[in-house]
Every structure is written in C-alpha cells, then in structure tokens.
Amino acid sequence: MASLRARARSRASAGQARKPIVLKLGGELLEQAEDLGRVARGIAALSTRTPLVVVHGGGKEIDAALAVAGIPKRQVDGLRVTDEPTLDVVVAVLAGAINTRLVAAVRRAGARPVGLTGADATVATVKRAAPITTVAGERVDLGLVGAPVENGRARRARENDRPDERSRGGTADQGRNGEQGDGGQAAGMPRGPGRRCSRRHHRKWTRDDVRRAGG
C-alpha cells in the first residue's frame, strides 16, 4: 500500500498524466469483515491520489453457491467450465453479492464508488474464448468464458471522477460471458478521458497489504 501511495505522489509531483492503478483483490480478502474494512479504507485513501481500478475475485463463494444450487463444479487445469446455470450463479455472486459488499464498504470508508458490470456502458467487450488444449493434450471448450477484445468508456464514472468496481463482461451482441480467474472478476474504471490501463500499472494486493491498509 505504501508503495502505491508513493508511486501516486511521484507521478503527481512530476506532472505526469495520471494513469490508473489497477488493484487485484483475491476473493479471500473480501470474506471477513475485518479484512474488508481495511481493504475499503485503503481503496478510499488511494483513490484521493490517483485514478483507481479495482478488480476482485470470489471463487470460494461461487463454489459454495454452486453447491447450494446443486450445480456441479467443473474445472479443467484450474479453469472453470461455465455453462448457463453456472454463469447465472457466478453473476449473482460477483455482481450481486461481493461487488455490492465491496462498494458499500468503500462508501462507508468515505469514497464514492460506483459498481458496474462489464456489460454496462460497453465497459468491457468480450468474445467467446477459443477451446483450450489441456496438459493432457485434450481439447476442451470452457463454455461461456470470455476473452476481452475492447475496453470501453464508462462515462458516468468518468464524469463523476470517482473510484468504482464492476463485474463480468458483455459480448458485442449483448450476450454474457464470464472471465476466467478465481471464478470471475470485477473491475473498476479509471478516472480521466478513456485512458487505457497498461500491465505495468497493475498491482495485486496481498494479505500483508490489507493489514497495512487503513490501519
């Protein structure tokens, strides 16, 4: 967390264009109230210094919801195979439960986050991912899994200059696809006129970062 704040101050003092920082949060960091509060305070503090994108997972909670619904979990080489019933659960957990929980916590911490899904305002356009070749050499179709093809602009988030979080992706024909990574991800939009996020500005928070964030 300290390194992120230092980077934000350095860019601001150098007069550089403020490129967004992307934080990746594993779903385990959002399960416990204490961890969630610390994460939210860190996000709120950092968002005052730099454009911020937040990406979160939720694999454990998705697995639990699938079990309750009686839907078998299918994975190949660590990647989730997603059919329509599975996708419904994934969307409900990521966009409906975890994203809302995170947005509410960041708001309580004093920021003004906006929760979005990748299907909102063409935030993230994806196409259906091609089949993969497993370690065993088998060709497997992962189902409703998306590969990103375009990053859109979320005008509402940009105009209001606030951090936000969102989940899922939408296809060009308005269909839905999941995005791989511990069961799916949610992401926030950068502030500024449609700037792209380069990989070198990505940063994954660890549990140590959470303990340091927000006291």
- Tokens linked to 98: 């975890």
- Would you say domain 2-7+21-192+200-208 falls under CATH 3.40.50.970? no
pLDDT < 50 regions, the chain: 155-161, 171-174, 181-201
pLDDT of residue 203: 53
pLDDT of residue 200: 45
- The torsion angles phi and psi of 149, rounded to 5 degrees, stand at -125, -15
For the beta carbon of residue 207, count every other beta carbon within 10 angstroms.
12
pLDDT of residue 53: 84
CA Rg, the chain, in Å?
A: 17
CA distances from 48 to 12, 38, 41, 104, 171 (A): 12, 16, 11, 17, 33
- The torsion angles phi and psi of 32, rounded to 5 degrees, stand at -95, 140
CA distances from 118 to 33, 131, 146 (A): 26, 22, 11
pLDDT of residue 183: 36
pLDDT of residue 115: 86
What pLDDT, in 10s, does the model give residues 160-178? Answer: 445 555 555 554 444 555 5
pLDDT of residue 52: 87
pLDDT of residue 153: 57
pLDDT of residue 172: 47
Residues found in the chain:
215
pLDDT of residue 51: 86
What pLDDT, in 10s, does the model give residues 122-140? Answer: 777 888 999 999 999 999 9
